[in-house]
Amino acid sequence: MRIGVNASPMSLDTTADTGNIVTTLLTGLCRLHPEHTFIFFFDKKPVSLELPENVSVVVLPLKGSKAWQRYLWLEWKLPRAMKAQGIELFLGMDGFLPLRSTIPANLYIPDMGFMHGVAGMRPSIQRSLKKNMVKYIRKAQRILVLSQTVQEDVITYAPEAASRIQKISPGIHKSYKPLEWDEREDVKREFAGGVEYFIAVGSLHPRNNVLPLLKAFSALKRRLHSNMKLVLAGAATPAGADISASLASYKYRNDVVWLEETDQETMSKLVAGAYALIYTSRFEGMAMPVYAALQCQVPVIALDGLAAREAGGDAVLYTDPDSLGDLADKMCLLYKDEQLRSRQLSRIAARALPGIETGPLIS
Q: Per residue, what are the HEC states of the chain?
A: CEEEEECHHHHHCCCCCCCCHHHHHHHHHHHHCCCCEEEEEECCCCCCCCCCCCEEEEECCCCCCCHHHHHHHHHHHHHHHHHHCCCCEEEECCCCCCCCCCCCEEEEECCCHHHHCCCCCCHHHHHHHHHHHHHHHHHCCEEEECCHHHHHHHHHHCHHHHHHEEECEECCCCCCCCCCHHHHHHHHHHHHCCCCEEEEECCECHHHCHHHHHHHHHHHHHHHCCCCEEEEECCECHHHHHHHHHHHHCCCHHHEEEECCCCHHHHHHHHHHCCEEEECCCCCCCCHHHHHHHHCCCCEEEECCHHHHHHHHHHCEEECCCCHHHHHHHHHHHHHCHHHHHHHHHHHHCCCCCCEECHHHCC
Residues 6+ apart with CB under 8 A from 242: none
d(CA 48, CA 159): 41
pLDDT greater than 90 at residue 12: no
d(CA 269, CA 21): 19
2-170 and 181-349 in the same fold? yes
Pick 24 or 274 by higher pLDDT.
Answer: 274
Task: For residue range 199-240, list pLDDT tens digits in order.
Answer: 999 999 888 899 999 999 999 999 999 999 999 999 988 888
Task: For residue range 145-182, list pLDDT tens digits in order.
Answer: 988 888 998 999 899 999 999 988 888 888 999 999 99
Task: For residue range 340-358, list pLDDT tens digits in order.
Answer: 999 999 999 888 777 655 5
Q: Give the model's pLDDT for residue 357.
A: 58
Q: Give the model's pLDDT for residue 113.
A: 73
d(CA 46, CA 360): 26
pLDDT greater than 90 at residue 49: no
Task: For residue range 172-208, list pLDDT tens digits in order.
Answer: 888 999 999 999 999 999 999 999 999 999 999 888 8
Q: Give the model's pLDDT for residue 15.
A: 87
Q: Give the model's pLDDT for residue 116.
A: 65
Q: Provide the sign of the torsion angle of the four alpha carbons 7, 11, 16, 17, taken in this order.
A: negative
Q: Give the model's pLDDT for residue 329.
A: 95
The torsion region of residue 225 among left (phi > 0), alpha (psi -120 to 50) and beta comes to left
Q: What's domain 2-170's architecture?
A: 3-Layer(aba) Sandwich (3.40)
Q: Which of the four pLDDT bands, split at 50, 70 and 90, describes residue 84? A: very high
pTM of the full structure:
0.87
- Residue boundaries of the structural domains of the chain: 2-170, 181-349
pLDDT greater than 80 at residue 125: no
CATH topology of domain 181-349: Rossmann fold (3.40.50)
pLDDT greater than 80 at residue 310: yes
**How much is the mean pLDDT over the chain?**
90
pLDDT greater than 90 at residue 280: yes
Task: For residue range 256-269, list pLDDT tens digits in order.
Answer: 999 998 999 999 99
d(CA 352, CA 350): 7
Q: Give the model's pLDDT for residue 81.
A: 97
d(CA 166, CA 162): 9
Q: Give the model's pLDDT for residue 118.
A: 57
Comparing 180-184, 195-199, 281-285, 314-318, the range with the smallest average pLDDT is: 281-285
d(CA 103, CA 100): 9
d(CA 60, CA 352): 42
Are 270 and 292 a contacting pair, CB within 8 Å?
A: no
pLDDT greater than 60 at residue 119: no
Give the mean model confidence (pLDDT) for residues 79-91: 97
Are 230 and 197 a contacting pair, CB within 8 Å?
A: yes
Q: Give the model's pLDDT for residue 147.
A: 87
Q: Give the model's pLDDT for residue 130.
A: 78
The phi, psi pair for 336, rounded to 5°, reads: -85, -35
